[in-house]
């Protein structure tokens, strides 16, 4: 199949070309660095499938343009699908496939990296030592052992995070809309959200962005949290109401904030903006706190994950080409079925 990739970097090309050859898929791959939107969709002309990433906005207008250009399949090279109008895709009979799990370890381990860095302030210690400053004032942390961690979302990534945290000797509370027997087996205590907010020293988000989880962490939720808590988001930016979180940082109910995702990240992340004036005042306010650690949506970014993403995405495309069942299809919303 002819596959046009939007929003690619050199590393995407490297992994996809390698797997396309190694697994003998034989697809013709075309890599574009521009994001997919209503203006760039025309570049898909001649493609049977289009492959996009987390910040490509695939709304009804874009899907119309793609269908018009002859595209028959939308392949997401990520797990989340909050950026796609699934109803519009269904009405155009365009299947949407994704990579449901490529390395839950990559994301869960990054969440732990944020927790450990914020706690032990290794980002500040690194700079101090390089300047010959060996003073410890301001670097005091706490033992993770014995602390209570609340996980919101106990799917693939949440479960890996739970196992790691259990290894540290933490008490792990979990909230999910679905019951998960495996979580119980590894010692996660199922609680309601209010209990999780009230008892957790650290809260880590591992649920998808949906209309139900949009701004789940808002002013009312933060008011229920333990003063001095740590909040970690490696899931999707808009699960957090950023302005409410800034207030929580100012009144010190939130004492540490670790973000790998940000609600307006589409204009910033994955690009080198170091020569530009960043116009997003909310983001710049976040950067002004020394107890806020932000990474640019890199939780997934391990060689293992990139290899798996390429393998599963190309398999999804081959399944479509050969008329096999699409095991990784994103179901259309009920109204569109």
Q: Does 175 bind ligand NAD (CB under 6 A)?
A: yes
What is each CA distance from 240 to 159, 195, 200, 232, 309, in whole angstroms? 21, 19, 17, 10, 26
Q: Does 155 bind ligand NAD (CB under 6 A)?
A: yes
Q: Does 76 bind ligand NAD (CB under 6 A)?
A: no
> What is the number of alpha carbons within 13 Å of residue 73 lying toward its C-beta?
28
- Taking CB under 6 A as the binding criterion, the range among 15-23, 89-97, 130-138, 174-182 that sits at the site for ligand NAD is 174-182
| Catalytic status, residue 236 | yes
Q: Of 12, 85, 176, 263, which one interacts with ligand NAD (CB under 6 A)?
A: 176
Q: Does 65 bind ligand NAD (CB under 6 A)?
A: no
What is each CA distance from 143 to 111, 161, 170, in whole angstroms? 17, 17, 10
Are 29 and 16 contacting, i.e. CB atoms less than 8 angstroms apart?
A: yes
Q: Of 20, 83, 148, 156, which one interacts with ligand NAD (CB under 6 A)?
A: 156
Are 247 and 221 contacting, i.e. CB atoms less than 8 angstroms apart?
A: no
Q: Closest approach of Cβ 286 to ligand NAD, in Å?
A: 17
Are 203 and 150 contacting, i.e. CB atoms less than 8 angstroms apart?
A: yes
- Give the position of tokens 């010190």: 252
- Give the position of tokens 């002819």: 2
- Taking CB under 6 A as the binding criterion, the range among 87-95, 121-129, 152-160, 283-291 that sits at the site for ligand NAD is 152-160
Site string for ligand NAD, 300-319 (x = CB under 6 A): x-------------------
Of 110, 236, 253, 263, which residue is the catalytic one? Answer: 236
Site string for ligand NAD, 209-248 (x = CB under 6 A): xx-xx--------------------xxx------------
d(CA 197, CA 217): 10
Smaller CB separation from ligand NAD, 174 or 248: 174
What is each CA distance from 267 to 164, 237, 301, in whole angstroms? 33, 13, 19
- Nearest residue to 96 (alpha-carbon basis) of 109, 108, 83, 107: 83
* Interaction site with ligand NAD (CB under 6 A): 79-80, 101, 104, 107, 152-158, 175-178, 206-210, 212-213, 234-236, 260-261, 297, 299-300
Q: Which residues are catalytic?
A: 236, 265, 297
């Amino acid at each position: 199949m002819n596959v046009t990739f939007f929003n690619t970097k050199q590393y995407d090309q490297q992994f996809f070309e390698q797997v396309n050859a190694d697994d003998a898929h034989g697809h013709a791959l075309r890599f574009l660095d521009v994001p997919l939107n209503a203006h760039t969709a025309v570049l898909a002309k001649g493609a049977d499938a289009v492959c996009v990433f987390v910040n490509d906005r695939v709304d009804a207008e874009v899907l119309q343009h793609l269908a018009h250009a002859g595209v028959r399949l939308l392949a997401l090279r990520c797990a989340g699908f909050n950026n796609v109008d699934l109803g519009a895709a269904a009405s155009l009979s365009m299947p949407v496939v994704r990579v449901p799990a490529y390395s839950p370890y990559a994301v869960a381990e990054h969440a732990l990296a944020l927790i450990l860095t914020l706690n032990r302030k290794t980002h500040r210690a690194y700079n101090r030592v390089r300047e010959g400053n060996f003073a410890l004032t301001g670097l005091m942390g706490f033992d993770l052992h014995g602390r209570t961690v609340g996980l919101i979302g106990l799917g693939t990534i949440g479960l890996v995070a739970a196992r790691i945290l259990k290894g540290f000797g933490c008490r792990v509370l979990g909230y999910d809309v679905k019951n998960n027997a495996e979580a119980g087996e590894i010692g996660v205590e199922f609680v309601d959200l209010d209990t999780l907010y009230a008892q957790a020293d650290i809260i880590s988000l591992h649920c998808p962005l949906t209309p139900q989880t949009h701004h789940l962490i808002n002013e009312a939720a933060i008011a229920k949290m333990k003063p001095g808590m740590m909040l970690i988001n490696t899931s999707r930016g808009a699960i957090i109401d950023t302005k409410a979180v800034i207030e929580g940082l100012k009144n010190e109910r939130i004492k540490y904030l670790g973000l790998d995702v940000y609600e307006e990240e589409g204009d910033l992340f994955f690009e080198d903006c170091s020569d530009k004036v960043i116009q997003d005042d909310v983001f710049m306010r976040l950067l002004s706190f020394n107890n806020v650690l932000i990474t640019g949506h890199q939780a997934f970014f391990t060689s293992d994950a990139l290899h798996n993403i390429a393998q599963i995405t190309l398999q999804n495309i081959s399944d479509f080409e050969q008329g096999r069942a699409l095991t990784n299809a994103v179901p259309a919303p009920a109204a569109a079925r």
